[in-house]
Amino acid sequence: SVSSLEHVHAYLAVLRLVDCTDDTVTVGKMLFQEILMAPPVPKEEDDDKMEEDDVSQPQKLLLKMALHERASKLLLLLLTNGASAPTDGNTKSTTTKSFLDPYERSVLTPSPPTIPDPTDPTLLVPTCKKLPALKYQELNHGFLPPLLELTQRPSHLRQLLTQRVGSRVLMELLMYHTTRVADSDGEAATQICEAVVTAMDSEEGESLWEHPV
């Protein structure tokens, strides 16, 4: 699925599938099994890499997605609860998929998809029965913990902060844990903020305070 998300056209089919399918169990397995269940990478006997570089394969794939222009759109769709989808009143959502360009929005709207009502063809009814907020909450359950863990590794957080695509994913992850989760206790958002402050104050490499991103 990661290769599909990087494809110049196939990623749109994946986004549309996520946005219009109620069966979150099947969609979750299809999308995240490759990422979350990826086998560990064998370590070399003479491996002298720093501890922060010794990360799991799922985290490597998530970082790859977060830094890719097209693959990151799936993470952004999930973190914004579908963006244009209405909520159940307990979670907040933006009104448009602002992270999509005009062509992408034309392909992925309306959201959720609609069809003519069998009893009255002049009326359009959504094809989805499950509340969008509930659907995205179920999808987010599996991949959010490893994505949050990604921000706790200095080398990976630095990559997210210094790249336009990665910084957008990081911002939406923070927004998700502060405004889009009804039962959030703020712990995850605090962890992200503390990690960012530590990275900004780090004396290793180029100063992040002076970085253009």
**So what's the pLDDT on residue 90?**
45
Provide the pLDDT for residue 186: 79
**Domain of 114, in residue numbers:** 2-39+54-202
Whether residue 45 lies inside any domain: the answer is no
Domain membership flag for residue 209: no
Q: What is the pLDDT of residue 91?
A: 43
pLDDT digits (tens, 9 = 90+) for 164-201: 999 999 999 998 888 876 656 678 888 998 998 888 77
Residue 67 within any structural domain of the chain: yes
Q: Helical H runs in 87-163? A: 102-108, 132-150, 154-162
Residue 58 lies in a domain: yes
CA distance 73 to 79: 10
Core vs surface per residue 182-208: b (16+ CB within 10 A) or e: eeeeeebbeebeebbeebeeeeeeeeb
Looking at the domain assignment, is residue 123 inside a domain? yes
Instruction: Specify the pLDDT at position 185.
Output: 64
53 Cβ neighbours under 8 A, 6+ residues apart: 155
pLDDT lower than 70: segments of the chain: 1, 38-55, 83-97, 111, 181-185, 203-213
In a domain, 208, yes or no: no
The answer to whether residue 207 sits within a structural domain is no
Is 49 a member of any domain?
Answer: no
Tell me the pTM: 0.80
Question: What is the rounded CA–CA span in Å between residue 36 and residue 56?
Answer: 10
User: How many structural domains compose the chain?
Assistant: 1
